[in-house]
């Protein structure tokens, strides 16, 4: 299994992204980390090039709905919607359904225990 952990938008807080990346790596997942401030288009290009199974977006700025929509749409436009998208960060409860409605397959709001996130990624393999 291969995962791209990505930071879309302008938010520079990468503690969560890097912690999840390390936890996944320890769980035997191959992990690529995008670095900060990538555009949705750059993230989709990297996901396709790296041939990942899942893209994990980390957003703490509040722009998660807009950014997730862009990534999901861009994957579709590239005929790459077999790549799943999950989202973590400061996601208020009211936005969880909105994100799932966009086609995001997993949402990890603040406070989600790390083992639960790792387990959810592994289930995405199916």
Partner 1 sequence: MREAKLHAGIPVKPVYGPEDVAGIDVERDVGRPGEYPYTRGIHPHMYRDRLWTMRQYIGFGTPAETNARFKYLMAHGQDALNVAFDLPTQLGLDSDDPRAEGEVGRVGMAIDTLADMEEAFDGIPLDRVSVSLTINGMAAPITAMYFAVAEKQGAARERVVTTPQNDILKEFIARGTWVYPVEPSLRLVGDLIEFSARNFPRSNPVSVCGYHIREAGCTTAQEMAYGLAIAAAYVELMLARGMTVDEFAPRLSFNFTCWGKIFEEVAKFRAGRRLYARMLRERFGATNPRSWMFRSLIGGGGSAFTVQEPENNIVRGAYIALAAALSGAQTMALPTFDEAYTIPSPKAQLVALRTMQICAEESGATDTADPLAGSYYVEAMTKAMEEKILEELAHVERMGGIVEAVKSGAIQAEVARQAYLFEQRLASGEVPKVAVNCYVGEGAAAADPEVELYAFDAGVAEAQVKKLARVRRERDDAAVAGVLRRLRDEARGSGNLMPVIMDAVKAYATLGEIARALKDVFGDYKEPVKF
What are 6's strand-pairing partners?
57
CB of 121 to partner 1, least distance (A): 15
Find the part of the chain contacting partner 1 (CB under 8 A) among 50-58, 76-84, 97-105, 107-115.
Answer: 107-115
Based on the shown chain and the rule CB under 8 A, indicate whether residue 62 belongs to the binding site for partner 1.
yes
18-57 positions binding partner 1, by CB under 8 A: 18-19, 21-23, 33-37, 39
Find the part of the chain contacting partner 1 (CB under 8 A) among 13-21, 42-50, 78-86, 100-108.
Answer: 13-21
Based on the shown chain and the rule CB under 8 A, indicate whether residue 100 belongs to the binding site for partner 1.
no
CA distance 64 to 124: 20
Residues in contact with partner 1 by the rule CB under 8 A: 9-15, 18-19, 21-23, 33-37, 39, 61-63, 66-67, 90, 92-94, 109-111, 113-115
């Amino acid at each position: 299994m291969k995962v791209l952990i990505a930071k879309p938008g302008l938010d520079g807080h990468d503690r969560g992204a890097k912690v999840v990346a390390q936890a996944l790596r320890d769980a035997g997942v191959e992990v690529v980390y995008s670095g900060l401030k990538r555009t949705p288009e750059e993230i989709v290009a990297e996901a396709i090039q790296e041939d990942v199974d899942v893209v994990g977006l980390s957003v703490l700025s509040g722009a998660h709905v807009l950014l997730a929509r862009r990534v999901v749409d861009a994957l579709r436009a590239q005929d790459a919607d077999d790549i799943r998208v999950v989202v973590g960060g400061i996601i208020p409860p009211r936005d969880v359904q909105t994100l799932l409605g966009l086609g995001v397959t997993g949402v990890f709001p603040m406070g989600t225990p790390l083992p639960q996130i790792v387990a959810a990624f592994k289930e995405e393999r199916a």
